[in-house]
Amino acid sequence: MTRWLLGRLALLPVLLLAVSAGVFALGELVPGDPVDFMIGEHATAERKSELRAAYHLDDPLPTRFVRFYRELLTGDLASLHTRRPVIEVLGERLPHTARLAGAALLVSALIAIPLGTLAARKRGTWIDDGSMVVALVGISLPSFWLGPLLIIVFAIGLGWLPVSGADAPGAIVLPAVTLGLGMASILTRITRTSVLETLGTDFVRTARSKGLKETQVVARHALRAASIPIVTVLGLQLGALLTGTVITEEIFAWPGIGREIVQAVRSRDLPVMQGAVLLLATIWLLVNTATDIAYAFLDPRVRLR
């Protein structure tokens, strides 16, 4: 396992190098001139040329590519508009995104694991059918529709929760539910399928023959044996939540990395956009690695090589 872990960690810089090259290329393909957003479209051509030269925007592409990597490695990558270091800007935003992703993952797990387990125990009954209908409906509701609907009902209509922002008490509830419900739909189906497979195994029948209650059999034996697919989906969901909160953060004006990316794209602040995408890609890779490591601890039959 140690050799596998070292090999996986050694692969991370290579993957990040490839991702960073792709991010730089995409930044060059973004339409619009950053200078126009900095001083306006009606500024003189001379003033625009001076600003491009000051920020090295008119340098040849290979020169900009080398400078991008140098600034990235030294931490000198800075916003075109505020000149603040990108690492500082993202450091302020990351805790908000992490808090939202963690809350959404908690919502997903609290709904999906009990519901999926109950559906597996009540296979073929109305409870099983109902849970699958709920899962199908949940996965069919896009966040850009569900978010405004929750705002209309619970914030504007009932006045129970704040409309947007992150400072008011309870402000995290609506965005977390918006993200968590869609993830819970997928996790419910995975949990049901995985628990169904383990309920018919020999060790579960042995546990029943010892006189254990059904709840103990499911909780202590069946659910633990079924945990690998569940943990896999949870790990992928956490990565997806951290990297896919753009729409939800924009809807609820949540001050996270997703909203920062949207604002950077709008203003053509390429360093901030590139740095944010690289940060999210790094988190995604680390989460996937941690998920793989968790397999060996959850199931002794798994050995990572």
In this structure, what token pair is assigned to residue 291?
A: 């998920």
In a domain, 132, yes or no: yes
Does residue 11 register a pLDDT over 70?
A: yes
69 band by pLDDT with thresholds 50, 70 and 90: confident
User: What 3-state class would DSSP assign to 187?
Assistant: helix
- Biggest CA–CA distance in the chain, Å, is 86
In a domain, 143, yes or no: yes
In a domain, 172, yes or no: yes
In a domain, 248, yes or no: yes
Are the beta carbons of 19 and 281 closer than 8 angstroms? Answer: yes
Mean pLDDT of 81-106: 86
pLDDT in tens, 123-149: 778 877 887 787 777 777 777 788 888
Structural domain count, the chain: 1
Tell me the residue type at 97: T
Contacts of 36 (CB under 8 A, 6+ apart): 48, 268
* CATH number, domain with residue 235: 1.10.3720.10
Contacts of 101 (CB under 8 A, 6+ apart): 179, 238, 241, 242, 245
Are the beta carbons of 161 and 171 closer than 8 angstroms? Answer: yes
Query: Look-up: residue for tokens 């069919």?
Result: 140
In a domain, 291, yes or no: yes
Q: Which CA distances in Å does 64 have to 22, 50, 70, 77, 271?
A: 14, 17, 10, 12, 12
Q: Residue 302 has what pLDDT? A: 54
Q: Which CA distances in Å does 130 have to 133, 137, 169, 190?
A: 5, 11, 34, 16
Are the beta carbons of 198 and 245 closer than 8 angstroms? Answer: no
The boundaries of the domain holding residue 120 are 86-298
1 band by pLDDT with thresholds 50, 70 and 90: low
In a domain, 135, yes or no: yes
pTM for the model stands at 0.76
In a domain, 160, yes or no: yes
Chain centroid, CA 212 distance in Å? 39
Q: Residue 216 has what pLDDT? A: 63
Most confident of 8-12, 120-124, 202-206, 248-252: 248-252
Tell me the residue type at 156: I
In a domain, 2, yes or no: no
Contacts of 197 (CB under 8 A, 6+ apart): 226
User: What 3-state class would DSSP assign to 201?
Assistant: coil
In angstroms, rounded to a whole number, what is the distance separating the alpha carbons of residues 166 and 256?
A: 9
